[in-house]
Chain A
Amino acid sequence: MPFLRRWAQIKGVRLTELGTEQGNRQLFTLADLPADQQAWLETHLADGEKLIAARFHPEVLPLVVVPDRDSELKRRLEADASDKQISQSALRLARQFTAKIDAEYDERLYINLDNPAIQTLLRAMTEAPAQAARAARLLKAFKVLMASRSPHGEKAPNQALADLAASVALIVEH
């Protein structure tokens, strides 16, 4: 890191340090969406994940799925096994916190509002809803396939591959 900082300084290039508050803010900001757009995206892109509208780099990345750390934390701390290893009074304090966590979702689906495909989709949603739904199917397949490549991912479900094939067929036909 010091080497990178020095190199960036000497070369006059910008270094964004992930993990710092400022660095994260530059690469990732939460955004607001009108309720109807949020609902439409949830219907067409989510598979039980919590959908969150955001703006992040790289702009070419339309969406990304990440585990919901809070839910995971709640599960771990509220598991019976925890009782055996942890000081009981401290565990009670920790559970005061996890009791307030809404663990409805195991994963979060971040939608990148700076991505051209998402922007097109949001426009098409009202102007051409049928085409928008078909395009969303492709994006959803992309999401599943991408998640399947992550270290924690499952094998790509057949549905995603089928959706991908169907989308290609549609593009060729039109």
Chain B
Amino acid sequence: MNIWDWVEKLQNDLADAGQAHSAELIDRLTAEIVDMKPEQADALLPEAKALCKTLENPWLEVFVGHWEMRNRLGNKAEGEKALADAVALFEFAHRKETIDCPQSICVTQDLAACYANIDGPGWVNERIEVCDETLARINPTWNCFQCLSNEKAEALLDAARPAEALTYLQGQQESIEAAGEEVGDSIFEIRNRILIVLGRHAEALDHITAQEAAVEGMEWRNISQPRTLLKAQALAGLGRDEEVWETLPPLPDLTLCDHISWWQAAYPVLLRQGERNTWHLASQLQRALAHYADSGSYRTVIELAEFGIRLAILRGSAWSARRYLVQARACLPKLRRDLGASALLDKLSGEIDALPNQNDLPVPAENLLEHLAGENNSRDPEKEVQWLLLAVRQRPEDAALLDQAATALEACGAYDDAIALLWEYVETHTSQEENLAYNLLGVLMNKGDEAGVLRLAKLYENSVPLTAHWCLARLASSRDDWPAAERHCADLLAISPASRGARRLHAHSLMQQKRFAEAAESYYTMYENTEQDKSVLWDYMVAANAAGDWSKVREAAKVLEMELDSDEGPIEEDWGTVIVRYFEDGEPVDYYAQQTGPVSARIVENARGNWRQHVADWIVLDANPVFPVPEDEEELKNFTRTFTHVHTLAQGGFGQGWLADGAYPGNESFEQMRGQLHSRGWKVWIHSGTDYEVHDSSASLDLPGIYFTVAAPETVPPLEIHKALSETTAAWEHPLCWLRLAEHCELDPAPHFEVIERYRL
């Protein structure tokens, strides 16, 4: 049985049983994973696993387990870190109750893929055996046939047998085609990769360009991103360096698993373009290196470290080169087979040793900071860090030097080194408040080292409780544990009432707990303690407005010299159009709104589809704009300020927004329809732009198009909206479609499909 047929049946059963949400969860989970959004997928997994238990469905458990592995092995490039779970899943997928689940084949592949991540070349023979044995049990009509073929071709690549890999993959492709199946994009991806390894860059580029040209509509990121990176590799192989940079996505936009591919493309170009080989890029390489090391992807660490070391040598940084070398050497014992890795690292070590001596300070240690501050050229933390560390060794009690050294280490991505350096000082300086303890707290928080933060709090618990409370407050806020953050801030403020950071976090914790009136008080105390800093007054105004205390909003507005039309009661004026940003399931969602006061607005745009409806909600905004106001006058003309939603004062009470789409009937007809719907108290919002067109295939004619949503009060049945739309558009020459609404009302969807087809919607 095809796994997807089975999943679809399960989803239909769930939907029929009134569990449409659970059915949708399965789709969302797989969609996030193929769209390479590992964090979003992680957020859905606990619920998906709970669903397996609730339904007592072992096949679903295998399915979810396999997709979790795709996320971990594919998107996060986990190696040894995932091994225990991959083995446990493999065992579970071969029990009596699961052995017949088609996805247990995929789980076998997951196990091989996990070993490939740990040490691909080292586990080549075992991986090939697994692929051969498993492929022998299935035929090309199975989805797994393509995945397993890829897995084997990759193993052959890892075995340095690229020509054989190519022949093998071509054979598999022919088998798939002969079976009447469509060859998937992943087969082409591996083929392109093999061509690049074979040095046939132009051929690979031709294939990729053709694939790009053939893309129609939306494409999953796990197809497009690797292809783009392979394109950059092919261009690099052809020496088309500028096009490489045009093609490569910015590193921070990439899922971590693809960082190695990015470096494979960039490395040869960086060797040729020394000016691009910067400390800043090196700190990003360190980030990826740390990720692969933490994930137990040991062979990748060594490959990436080689790039890092050679580039560091070119920059003249023995310090960076040695750090990469240490990290790579730590992976050597974890490899299944050495295969020349030790010799490579020994050779690189020799090259680092041959660099000019870097153990001399340019000035005496006590003058180093002054010397660095005085240098005219831009600061280079990688260059400075070696001097700073040497100076710290001579002057271990010099807090300013330590501060600079730790900052430079952090800039280079050497968080562990920065933490170790700061601990060395902090552990022996606990009798009084130390700024370096806060620096350490900052690095620990950045790294997510919660145990370290607890240890730091413990260290100062008795001697400097203020420091301990601040550590615990910061930790609590990072865990969204707002009552604890509030408590620790309150304890801290009892000792040090003027502490601005604690006051701000205290007020913020109250805001997060929706205790707006208390938050307003806290902000006001802060305002008074900070010599009446007006920026604090804005936060005060937001809190007071959320608390519904209009007199306080008015007082603050007066101090901020804002003119209001009225003197008392709620403020509801027309302050122009703004955009309000909500965060729903971690995603930003923006809606147009009319600003009604200094920090309040009413949403005027309908939400579409399944998004939560906010239209007509009266809300409080954060006072800080999300985007800065552009300086360019032209840009300013089309600029609408965006603010984050803080609190809803009153809900509009509208239900789901239903989308209608089709040819524009002309102003008069459209306004007539809109007027009729408005007269019922409903909301109509046009989402399409002025350039939106539809194509009437029956007349081969391009027409102006429109798509808009209709939202009615929650109490109005959707069928009534359908009827109203039918009536108000009945006389239009070109019919519209509102498929989702029709489906929801269980009406015949055929007329809507006809419109979609006729106008190519």
Contact = CB atoms under 8 A, between A and B. Distances in A.
Contacts of B43: 17, 20
Contact of B91 (A13, A15, A20, A76): A76
Contact of A73 (B87, B479, B480, B515): B87
A90 B90 contact: yes
Given A12-B514, A98-B87, A20 B42 contact: yes
Interface stretch (B129-137, B265-273, B327-335, B521-529): B129-137
B87 A89 contact: no
B112 A93 contact: yes
Nearest to B514: A12
A89 B47 CA distance: 33
A94 B111 contact: yes
Contacts of A14: 479-483
B94 interface: yes
A132 to B, nearest CB: 24
Contacts of B482: 12, 14
B743 to A, nearest CB: 22
Contact of A19 (B49, B123, B512): B49
Contacts, number: 89
A87 B108 contact: yes
A18 B514 contact: no
Interface string B80-112: 000110011011001000010000000010011
A38 B111 CA distance: 36
A80 to B, nearest CB: 14
Contacts of A87: 108, 130, 133-134, 137
Interface string B446-467: 0000110000000000000000
Nearest to A31: B451
Interface in A20-71: 20-23, 25-26, 29, 69-70
A29 B454 CA distance: 11
B212 interface: no
Contacts of A1: 46-47, 50
B494 to A, nearest CB: 23
B243 interface: no
B714 interface: no
Interface in B113-166: 115, 123, 126, 129-130, 132-134, 137
Contact of B133 (A69, A90, A94): A90
A134 B111 CA distance: 49
Given A25-B450, A76-B91, A93-B112, A18 B585 contact: no
B479 A12 contact: no
Contact of B90 (A18, A70, A94): A94
Nearest to A92: B126
Given A90-B90, A94-B111, A70 B133 contact: no
Given A12-B514, A14-B480, A70-B84, A90 B91 contact: no
Interface string A119-143: 0000000000000000000000000
Contacts of A97: 83-84, 87
B513 interface: yes
B130 A11 contact: no
Nearest to A95: B87
Contacts of A17: 43, 46
Interface in B399-441: none
B108 A22 contact: no
A148 interface: no
B649 to A, nearest CB: 13
B216 to A, nearest CB: 32
A70 B88 CA distance: 8
A147 interface: no
Contacts of A86: 90, 94
Interface residues of A, number: 36
Given A20-B42, A26-B479, A89-B133, A73 B108 contact: no
Given A2-B21, A90-B130, A97-B87, A20 B46 contact: yes
B45 interface: yes
A29 B480 CA distance: 18
A88 interface: yes
A156 interface: no
A82 interface: yes
A126 B481 CA distance: 36
A159 interface: no
Contacts of A93: 111-112, 115, 123, 126, 130
Nearest to A94: B87
A12 B108 contact: no
A136 to B, nearest CB: 26
A25 B94 CA distance: 31
B483 to A, nearest CB: 7
A78 to B, nearest CB: 10
B111 A2 contact: no
Contacts of B134: 87, 90
Contact of A77 (B42, B87, B451, B479): B87
Interface in A71-114: 73, 76-77, 82, 85-90, 92-94, 96-98
Contacts of B94: 82, 85-86
A26 B108 CA distance: 33
11 contacts: A13-B513, A14-B482, A19-B46, A20-B43, A82-B91, A85-B99, A86-B94, A87-B137, A89-B129, A90-B112, A93-B115
Given A2-B47, A14-B479, A97-B87, 9 more contacts: A1-B46, A1-B47, A5-B585, A11-B514, A76-B91, A77-B91, A86-B94, A87-B130, A87-B134
Interface of A: 1-2, 5, 11-15, 17-23, 25-26, 29, 69-70, 73, 76-77, 82, 85-90, 92-94, 96-98
The 6 A-B residue pairs whose C-beta atoms are closest, nearest first, are: A19-B46, A89-B129, A12-B514, A1-B47, A12-B513, A89-B130
